[in-house]
Amino acid sequence: MARRGLVTAPDQRPADPAVPTVRIVGGGRAGGSFARALAARGWAVDGPIGRGDVVRDAAAGVELVLICVPDAQVASVGASIEPSPTTVIAHVAGSLGLDVLASHPRTASVHPLVSLPDPETGALRLLDAAAFAVAGDAMAKRVVESLGGRFVPVPDASRALYHAAACVASNHLVALLGQAERIAAQAGVPFEMYADLIRGSVDNALTLGPARALTGPAARGDEATIARHLAALDPLERAGYRALAAEARRLAGRDADDADGSSAATDGSSATDGSAPTRAADRSTPHPEER
């Protein structure tokens, strides 16, 4: 099998059978991150094997093959590997179950709940008590324990929901911050001025739980302020704002009827002077950080 980019060359591997052996398939950010992190924990690491390398014999001579390729390629890469009765074939895809590796007798999945932007940063995060979702062979837990991480078993039936939650917690959060950056720019305020507010909100949600950490006009029923926001926003930003305001009301336990009329000012024409209509919510007391 052609190989390149070895972290630990075959002739340099210790003969000690207690040293775990792994071959990384996938030369991208995930593959590089796992290769560096496992090598730092004493694993004999072969790879990452990159695009164009032959993977048919990837299971030969190692205890674990870790497939670190995009989700859409996992099944085809797994099917290209000659099955071995002793080698575990595992993937790191969060959205996939073990069925994509069905041709192999021993399978597992190890998905890290951290972002891996590049091999160096990714390896550090994998080694920093990271959380993982695991399934299948006990080798998955062995990998996590070697990295000093924490794990939760996630069966195939729950995999899509698990990964959806991960996307909301990471990808959607970043997209939301992108909206905040755009709106702040329209107000002439640098995005970095909101950094402490962002960090504090995330810390509060993790410490107190999302429901207790929630503040703001939707949480206190201040629909007049929401109407003023909608009237001021670029029309392209209104749908996202409305959707998140609805989620905030839901988290606060407020009835959807509380929002009736809050969209009246979205086109700036709800009153002759362009101001939002007066509602009972105007009399609510704002939170200190929003006065």
> For the residues 58-74, what does the mean pLDDT come to?
96
> For the residues 253-266, what does the mean pLDDT come to?
61
- For residues 102 and 231, membership in a common domain is answered with no
- For residues 149 and 183, membership in a common domain is answered with no
- For residues 203 and 237, membership in a common domain is answered with yes
Question: What does the pLDDT read at residue 52?
Answer: 76
In a domain, 1, yes or no: no
> For the residues 2-10, what does the mean pLDDT come to?
38
Cα–Cα distance, 12 to 9 (Å, whole number): 5
- For residues 150 and 60, membership in a common domain is answered with yes
Q: What is the pLDDT of residues 223-233, one digit of tens each?
A: 999 999 999 99
Question: What does the pLDDT read at residue 53?
Answer: 84
- For residues 105 and 186, membership in a common domain is answered with no
- For residues 193 and 232, membership in a common domain is answered with yes
Write out the H or E segment, with its range, that includes residue 180: helix 173-187
- Give percent of the chain above pLDDT 90: 78
- For residues 110 and 205, membership in a common domain is answered with no
Instruction: Mention every residue, 6+ apart, whose C-beta is less than 8 A from residue 13.
Output: 19, 21, 44
The number of distinct structural domains making up the chain is 2
Instruction: Detail the DSSP E strand segments found in the chain.
Output: 21-25, 44-49, 64-67, 88-91, 107-112, 131-136, 150-153
pLDDT band for position 288 (cuts 50, 70, 90): very low
* Of 82, 134, 72, the residue nearest 103 (C-alpha): 82
- For residues 149 and 209, membership in a common domain is answered with no
- For residues 147 and 166, membership in a common domain is answered with no
- For residues 21 and 125, membership in a common domain is answered with yes
- pLDDT of 244 > 50? The answer is yes
pLDDT band for position 125 (cuts 50, 70, 90): very high
- pLDDT of 12 > 60? The answer is no
In a domain, 135, yes or no: yes
In a domain, 4, yes or no: no
Quickly count: other Cβ atoms within 10 Å of residue 123's Cβ: 21
Please check whether residue 64 is in contact with residue 153, taking contact to mean a CB–CB distance below 8 angstroms.
Answer: no
In a domain, 208, yes or no: yes
Domain boundary (154, 189, 207) is at: 154
- For residues 14 and 150, membership in a common domain is answered with yes
pTM of the model: 0.79
- For residues 193 and 59, membership in a common domain is answered with no
In a domain, 27, yes or no: yes
In a domain, 5, yes or no: no
pLDDT band for position 17 (cuts 50, 70, 90): low
CATH number at residue 138: 3.40.50.720
The residue range of the domain holding 40 is 10-154
What is the residue-averaged pLDDT of the chain?
A: 87
- pLDDT of 11 > 80? The answer is no
In a domain, 256, yes or no: yes
- Give percent of the chain above pLDDT 70: 82
- pLDDT of 235 > 90? The answer is yes
Domain boundary (154, 171, 195) is at: 154
Domain boundary (97, 120, 154) is at: 154
pLDDT band for position 255 (cuts 50, 70, 90): confident
In a domain, 277, yes or no: yes
